[in-house]
Structure 1
Amino acid sequence: MSETARGPGRPRKSEGAATRDLLLDAALDLFARQGFAATTVRQIAAVVGVRDSAIYGHFAGKQAIHDALLTEAGPASFEHLRVDVDALVEAGPRDGVPELAGRAVDAWSAPRARRFVDVLLRDGGGLAVLASAIEAARDRLQEPFARWQDDGRVRADVPPRQLVWELFAPLQVPRLLHLHAGATDEDLAAARRLVDDHVRFFLRVTLTDGSNR
């Protein structure tokens, strides 16, 4: 939209994106400090310095803000991780699985994702929320495993969806232990080591002789 076409009082797209980020950060701070239930839309708007109604130009409500944060901080889909499925399959599981896990940990190491872990832990039920998000991601993430099975690279006696679970569910342990808002460089390094150890174990028990092709 050109400057002349932009309606009076309507923010530029860049301004809208900036406001959305400010709302997410404000909500994240409030959720972490006082809990989701105790936080109101009015409080979020007050932190950003906008009217309550301005929030609804970006989100349907408080739950939608929480859901947007979970989308950023959850197990992640190929869309969120910007993974090319065909390229991942071509790389093979020996390289593709560490790449997939590494991208997920990169996303979880981002400041906003680490702060959201504190929200999950504060409100309780954080593990249940993460487990639910992993379950929802299994359909989206199973494709490369199914194709690797078809190629004889990954053991075929375990359903692809279960392989996704076995890869990602244990990764939540280093995440909850080390990838929180107050994480130090030592925490980040420790998380990487635990993830690397798990990925090596996962590959050892899932690869077949055909994985070298």
Structure 2
Amino acid sequence: MKSGGPVRRRPGRPPKTQAGDTKSALVEAALRLFAQKGYAGTSIRAIAREVGLSESVLYAHFASKQDIFEAAVAQLGPQGLVAGRESLDPELVDGDPAAAIRALVAHVLDAWDSPSGRLFISLMVRDGLVHSADMGHTITQSMSEMAPLFQHWIDTGLIPPDLGRPADLAWALFGPIGQARLLWLHADAAPDQRQEARERALRHTELFIRAVFRERKSPDG
């Protein structure tokens, strides 16, 4: 028998090709609801309905509301630095570290300046989570996970070994950029504020590159 409308898929685990999009949609929906009603005032059912899904489909992706929030932190919080590092071309890291740093900062700024990224930081500030012990631990851990990149450049002679610990170098790069995020990359930021954040972040990046990296010598001396 022919049907006059589209075939509807039963609630359940979606195809793998759709899983990533569905998870992202659920995280974005949760952030919107957290901003409107607070974390405690947002239910799993409300998050599912915001995306037009059943609770069973949501549970195919996330075990709990806390898991959704942690996914948002992993994607849009300090841990996003690690994803940026992992996205770098190894040849760029070895051949042109300044370009690698610029690519890494651009990756981070794109994530933090997205609608979800700006909503996330506003939620963290409003609910006082920026100053929580968990967030402090997450930031420290993220700097530690960035450390091998700087250690590699120290080991290859591109950064003086006495300049600082690798994790401290990561903080020196991303601390001011994170401050710009707090000030100018929030949910209510105007276009000129967002542009200010990017310009400040990029100026700081160039300052860091000039201050930290040794100039490469030509093969003939």
Aligned counterpart in structure 2 of residue 149 of structure 1, from 145, 151, 154: 154
Match of 1:74 in 2: 77
Identity %: 31
Structure 1 unaligned blocks of 5 or more? 1-6
Pick one of 164, 168, 178 that aligns with 2:170.
164
The amino acid across from 1:119 in the alignment is L
CA offset at residue 85 of structure 1?
A: 3.7
Cα distance, 1:79 vs structure 2: 3.5
RMSD over aligned Cα atoms: 2.5
TM-score by length of 2: 0.80
Name the TM-score, length of structure 1 as normaliser.
Answer: 0.82
Question: Using a 3 Å threshold, how does the CA distance of structure 1 residues 57 and 159 change in structure 2: closer, same or farther?
Answer: same
> In the alignment, residue 120 of structure 1 is paired with which amino acid?
M
Q: Distance in 1 between matches of 2:59 and 2:195?
A: 39
Unaligned runs of 5+ in 2: 1-8
Structure 1 residue 48 and structure 2 residue 54: aligned? no
Q: Which amino acid aligns with 2:26?
A: L
Residue of structure 1 in register with 2:5 after alignment: none
Q: Distance in 2 between matches of 1:178 and 1:126?
A: 15
- Total equivalences in the alignment: 204
The SS at the match of 2:187 is coil
Q: Which amino acid aligns with 1:44?
A: I
- Paired residue for 1:65? 68
Pair 1:50–1:205, CA change in 2 (3 A) = same
- 1:105 Cα offset (Å): 0.9
State whether residues 35 and 122 of structure 1, in contact with CA within 8 Å, keep that contact through their aligned partners in structure 2: no
Name the counterpart of 1:4.
Answer: none
Deviation of the 1:80 alpha carbon: 4.7
In the TM superposition, 1:82-121 aligns within 5 A as: 82-92=87-97, 94-121=98-125
- What one-letter code is carried by the residue in structure 2 that aligns with 1:69? A
Change in Cα spacing, 1:55 to 1:196, as seen in structure 2 (3 Å) is same
Cα distance 1:100–1:22, how it changes in 2: closer, same or farther (>3 A)? closer
> Are 1:145 and 1:163, in contact at CA under 8 Å, matched by a contact in 2?
yes
Asked whether the equivalents of residues 88 and 100 of structure 2 are also in contact (C-alpha less than 8 Å), the reply is no
Whichever residue aligns with residue 42 of structure 1, its letter is R
Equivalent residue, structure 1, for 2:4: none
- Tell me the CA shift for residue 27 of structure 1: 0.6
